Amino acid sequence: MSEPTLPPIGMLAELTHRCPLQCPYCSNPVELLKANLEMTTESWRALFDQAADLGVLQVHLSGGEPTLRPDLEALVRQLAGRGVYTNLITAGVGMPEGRIDDLAAAGLDHVQISFQGAFAPTTERISNHRGAHEKKIATAGQVRAAGLPLTINAPVHRHNMDEVPAFIDLALELGAERLEIANVQYAGWALLNRNALMPDRASVERQVEVVRQAQEQLYGILTIDFVTPDYFAMYPKPCMGGWARDAFVVAPDGTVLPCHAAGTIPNLVFERFGERDLAEIWQHSPAFSAFRGTSWMGEPCRSCDRKEIDWGGCRCQAMAIAGNARETDPACIKSPIHARMAALIEEATATEDCKFLYRRIGTSYLAGR
């Protein structure tokens, strides 16, 4: 029996893989797409129209760095005209004076700025971009001056986990409504850099307590979302709300995916917008149907009372660690290879060489701490 297909409500539009930063924790695929493979303005506008027709209520405009697209205002205007909520996910560097105002005038609803560190030296070391921290702070000021809501995103790993209290202070200083403490998920470039990024268990436990206390103390002042680290978990998270349940990702070339890393799963063929309508892909693509719902599950997932809570967890993580996307997510305590997570943590934290393989289109290189 086939699983019911409900309309999606969310979409992550990766407008480009180009980015001025070279963060080693990036979830973009290792094979980054060059600018000449990006969809045209007309194609993105057609896709956004079909997304709105399909039921999508919010679109996260991301990348890479979406502000590198000169047509960003036109795309925001297109979505606003269809009543779709837009969230710009930006590195916040290289933003020319007045760009935020132009985007706000086009109908942008929200801005999310990533900070690689709570302090300038950390931000520069992780992003490999001189002056990045000050540029981000300036962009945050422009966002608030334009009257737009602001989220600070803090991707957390071994090299900045002790800065979590300072991230909270920074979000308050910048007037953010929301702070996302996002423990790095190991896909794409982050998987390549796992040994250099993985924190130890004691640091994670301290972080959890800091965040818990701050959530209580700042309730009604600052919303703090916490993305738990899978490798230290007892149970998995529902990836993207569950495989092809209510959201999807579109890559710069128009490839439609259930999640960022889905392309790492062999034997799944992901279709490209333009070659097929978005509704047809969402409703009938074999790749989208592969892990939708619960009928695909084997044991212990099939009998688990959490199967409609986590929807099987992350298929890409199962692929990366168990070697089979149909296996139980190793993050789950019920997985027969759950102990492998602890072994990977031990292996990583025993690694003294913390050089990063920085993200870069067309090439990569090692650089020291």
Which residues contribute to the annotated binding site for [4Fe-4S] cluster?
Answer: 19, 23, 26
Helix (H) or strand (E) holding 145: helix 132-145
Binding residue positions:
19, 23, 26
Query: Inter-axis angle of helices 99-106 and 132-145, to 10 degrees?
Result: 40
Q: β-strand 58-62 against 247-250: which pairing, if any?
A: unpaired
Tell whether omega for the bond before 300 is within 30 degrees of 0, i.e. cis: yes
Helix (H) or strand (E) holding 189: helix 189-192
Q: β-strand 58-62 against 178-183: which pairing, if any?
A: unpaired
- C-alpha to C-alpha distance for 64 and 59, rounded to whole angstroms: 15
| Structure token pair of residue 62 | 């991301």
193: Cβ contacts below 8 Å, ≥ 6 apart: 24, 25, 356, 357
Beta bridge partners of 111: 88, 150
* Contact between residue 259 and residue 247 where contact means Cβ atoms under 8 Å apart: no
360: Cβ contacts below 8 Å, ≥ 6 apart: 22, 32
- C-alpha to C-alpha distance for 330 and 336, rounded to whole angstroms: 8
Residue 317: strand, helix, or coil: helix
